[in-house]
Structure 1
Amino acid sequence: QALHRELKSLQRRLKHQRKGSNNWLNLQKKIARIHQKISDTRKDWHYKLAHRLCDQAGMIFVEDINFKAWAKGMFGQHTLDAAYGQFFSILSHVCWKRGVYFARVDKNYTSQICPQCGTHTGKKTLDVRIHSCQSCGYTTHRDTAAAQVIRDRGILAVGQPVSKTASGGVLSGIDSNIGLESSL
């Protein structure tokens, strides 16, 4: 937060300098250093969080969200500052290095499906914070129910046949040209 304030202040000072002058160049260098420090701090926090999550779990499942489209909403700048896409790629790399299973699951209707019985409960507005199923009577916090649906989808996906991506590679990262016999 303090770095963002300092960055804003320096950028305001920069617009009053003559382009190409020594003062303008010096401010450009300071601004570049602050941008780099913000980036390094964010990346360090992402790695630390990823390692902490890997310490606590044997499998990690996340929603497959299009963050570029998400960033066009009301909180776009905050979404971009959080760098969720970078975090998910760091998390998948750390999971791979530490032997923790990582997968992205379908994001559709995670907050509208009952994790207990699988019934579609309908769209909820953001002010509705409790999930209650009319079919089975299951009641819990809305975010907890969505997390349980994500977990269930991920567990269902484990052991399913690996699908091909658009580029022709295999999702698991194994080269499709190598046979099972030659890799053993």
Structure 2
Amino acid sequence: MSFVLQKVAKLHEYVANCRKDWHRKLSHQICNDPGMVFVEDLNLVGLSRGMLGKHCLDAGFGQFFNILEQTCFKNGVYFQKVDSRKTSQICPNCGVETGRKELSEPTHICSNCGYTTDRDVAAAQVVLLRGLAAVGHTVKMLAEGKFIGIPVKQESPNF
């Protein structure tokens, strides 16, 4: 019986090591070019209790975020978690809340401005806007409809 348990333990260790290796390689790939990385501050405990809980736990989101943060620190890349609420329900172009989408609906279509893109791309753009606002870039803050940060200095015309 103990031989079987040892074999199962070795298989689990192998899978965990493969996942960790993949997380490290992916984090280095992500940190190669940009100066800033923003991720959603997900409620990982809540996700693990949901319908796809086992899949979320298997993916190791928490471990990946920790590895990504460490890799960003080592490479001098700014890393920050941003508010994850309603990222897929807000139009990144005009800031209007478009409402909840079904999982079968792959496209973001804004009824206000007509902006159309993949729903995951739109959510990533909202995360980017929130991250830039958090670091002080002058962008329109989606949730409040006001500008955050230091205004861009306008050049005076040369006479």
3-state SS of the aligned residue for 1:86? helix
| Distance (Å, rounded) in 2 between the aligned partners of 1:136 and 1:32 | 55
Give the residue type in structure 2 aligned to 1:149.
Answer: V
Q: For 1:133-172, what aligned pairs fall within 5 Å after superposition?
A: 133-159=110-136
Task: Extract structure 1 runs of 4+ deviating beyond 4 A.
Answer: none
Structure 2 residue aligned with 1:88, among 65, 73, 78?
65
Structure 2 equivalent of residue 99 of structure 1:
76
Matched, 1:39 2:16: yes
Q: Distance in 2 between matches of 1:126 and 1:38?
A: 29
Partner Cα distance (1:103, 1:27) in 2: 43
* Among 89, 94, 104, the residue aligned to 1:127: 104
Number of residue pairs matched by the alignment? 137
Structure 1 residue matching 2:101: 3-state secondary structure: coil
Q: Distance in 2 between matches of 1:126 and 1:31?
A: 36
Q: Name the residue aligned to 1:74.
A: 51
Structure 1 unmatched ranges of 5 or more: 1-23, 161-184
Distance 2:6 2:109 in 1: 55
Alpha-carbon distance in 2 for matches of 1:62, 1:158: 14
Q: TM-score, normalization: structure 2?
A: 0.81
Between the aligned partners of 1:118 and 1:105, the Cα distance in structure 2 is 16
- TM-score, normalised on structure 1? 0.71
CA shift for structure 1 position 56 = 3.1
Q: Tell me, in whole angstroms, the C-alpha distance in 2 between the residues paired with 1:114 and 1:108.
A: 13
- 1:76 deviates by 1.6
Question: Matched residues in 2 for 1:84 and 1:106: separation?
Answer: 16
CA distance in 2: counterparts of 1:76 and 1:128, whole angstroms: 22
SS in 2 for 1:143: helix
In structure 2, C-alpha distance between the alignment counterparts of 1:102 and 1:60, rounded to whole Å = 5
Q: Which has the higher contact order (CA 8 A, sep 6+)?
A: 2
> Displacement, 1:71?
1.5
Q: Which structure carries more helix by proportion? A: 1
SS at match of 1:147: helix
The amino acid of 1:110's aligned partner reads: T
Residue identity over aligned pairs, in percent, reads 52
